[in-house]
């Protein structure tokens, strides 16, 4: 096995992990929107409306992330380096915006219990930082 194939496998594995995280986030957000939307319809609350608006505003970016991911997989090898850089940046932006949906979930939990909401938001911020640091590619120029 050549060094290039190992790097490609490593990259694919890293991308697959990101894909799995985004898929879980999208599934969670869809479920939250469904069940909390039903609750909002029967028992409207302004804070729930704000939380659902935050979550809803992130859903298109989650979808675009999957479109970019699929496009890159289908066109691997035929895209220029410049295009790959642009697509990676767009993908990273979509991921960060998708993580904002967790603030909406935190607001919903805050609405249920102040302590649960506060601790969820704090742990969300810390976990986003952890994910971003853990998934950073090492600088090979050193």
pLDDT in tens, 39-62: 999 999 999 999 999 999 999 999
The beta-carbon contacts of 91-99 under 8 Å, at least 24 apart in sequence, are 91/18, 91/65, 93/61, 94/61, 94/62, 94/64, 94/65, 94/68, 95/18, 95/22, 95/65, 97/58, 97/61, 98/22, 98/25, 98/26, 98/58, 98/61, 98/62, 98/65, 99/25, 99/124, 99/128
Query: What is the pLDDT averaged over residues 1-18?
Result: 55
- Pick the closest to residue 36 from 12, 52, 20 (CA basis): 52
Average pLDDT over residues 55-84: 90
Nearest Cα to Cα of residue 54 among 121, 7, 137, 134: 121
Task: Return the domain boundaries, the chain.
Answer: 17-134
pLDDT at site 89: 92
Contacts of 59 (CB under 8 A, 6+ apart): 26, 29, 30, 33, 101
Please give the pLDDT value at position 1: 44
* Residues 98-133: tens digit of each pLDDT: 988 988 988 888 888 889 888 988 888 888 788 778
Share of the chain above pLDDT 70, in %: 84
What global pTM score does this model have? 0.75
């Amino acid at each position: 096995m050549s060094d290039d194939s190992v790097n490609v496998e490593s990259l694919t594995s890293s991308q697959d992990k990101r894909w799995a995280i985004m898929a879980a986030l999208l599934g969670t957000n869809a479920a939250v929107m469904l069940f909390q939307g039903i609750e909002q319809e029967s028992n409207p609350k302004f804070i729930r409306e704000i939380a659902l608006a935050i979550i809803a505003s992130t859903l298109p970016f989650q979808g675009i992330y999957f479109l970019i991911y699929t496009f890159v997989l289908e066109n691997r090898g035929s895209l220029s380096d410049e295009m790959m850089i642009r697509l990676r940046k767009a993908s990273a932006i979509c991921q960060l915006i998708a993580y904002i949906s967790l603030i909406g979930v935190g607001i919903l939990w805050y609405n249920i219990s102040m302590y649960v909401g506060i601790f969820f938001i704090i742990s969300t911020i810390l976990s986003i930082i952890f994910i971003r640091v853990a998934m950073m590619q090492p600088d090979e120029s050193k």
